[in-house]
Amino acid sequence: MADSSANSTPNAGLASASRGSDDMTILTKTREKNNRCYRGKQKGGMKVPYNSRILGLVIGAERVKHGMTQEQLSGLAGITHGHLAVLESGQKSPKVETLWRIADALNLRLSDLIKLVEKEMEKGSGP
C-alpha cells in the first residue's frame, strides 16, 4: 500500500524540501541559460546586441515623422520632457510600460515599434 502522507500535505505533488532546492537550482540555471540565449538572439539565430542608442534614434525618427516635438510626445506619453530626451539620446533604456506609452503616443503598437528597432539593429547602424 502506498504512503498517503505525501498526498495529505498542502504541497502534495511538489518536490520535497531537499528536492525543492534542486528544483530552484535547475530553475536558476535555466533562467541564466535563457537569458544568455535570449539576449540579442533574433529570428534565424542571428545575434543582434541591444543598443539603447538605436532605440532612441528610432523613437526620435518616429516622433519627427509624426510631426511632434519632444515636449508634445512626452506629454502624450505621460513622461517628462527630460526623460524622453535621455531615452532618445540612448543614455537610458525605458521600462516596458514607458515604451508602451511612447508607442501608443506615436499611434504604433509596441510590437511594431520594436520591429522598427530590430530592423535598425540588424542594419548595424550604431556606434
Residue 77 is assigned to a structural domain of this protein? yes
Number of domains in the chain: 1
pLDDT for the residue numbered 99? 97
Residue 96 is assigned to a structural domain of this protein? yes
Which domain covers residue 96, as residue numbers?
A: 52-123
CATH number for position 80 = 1.10.260.40
Q: Which of 25, 33, 56, 38 is nearest to 121 (CA)?
A: 56
Residue 109 is assigned to a structural domain of this protein? yes
How would you write the pLDDT of the chain (127 residues) with one tens digit per residue?
A: 444 444 444 444 444 444 445 544 554 444 444 444 334 444 555 566 788 999 999 999 999 999 999 999 999 999 999 999 999 999 999 999 999 999 999 999 999 999 999 999 888 754 4
pLDDT digits (tens, 9 = 90+) for 8-44: 444 444 444 444 455 445 544 444 444 443 344 445 5
Rounded to the nearest 10 degrees, the angle between the axes of helix 52-65 and helix 81-88 is 120
Strand (E) or helix (H) holding 86? helix 81-88
Residue 46 is assigned to a structural domain of this protein? no
pLDDT for the residue numbered 9? 43
Task: Report the predicted TM-score, pTM, of the whole model to 2 decimal places.
Answer: 0.62
Residue 36 is assigned to a structural domain of this protein? no
pLDDT for the residue numbered 124? 73
On the CB side of 127, CA atoms within 13 Å amount to: 9
Residue 37 is assigned to a structural domain of this protein? no
State the chain's maximal CA–CA distance in angstroms.
76
Q: What helix, strand, coil percent values describe the chain, rounded to 5?
A: 65, 0, 35
pLDDT for the residue numbered 81? 97
pLDDT for the residue numbered 55? 96
Q: Hey, what amino acid is at 22?
A: D
Strand (E) or helix (H) holding 9? none
pLDDT for the residue numbered 30? 41
Rg, C-alpha atoms of the chain: 22
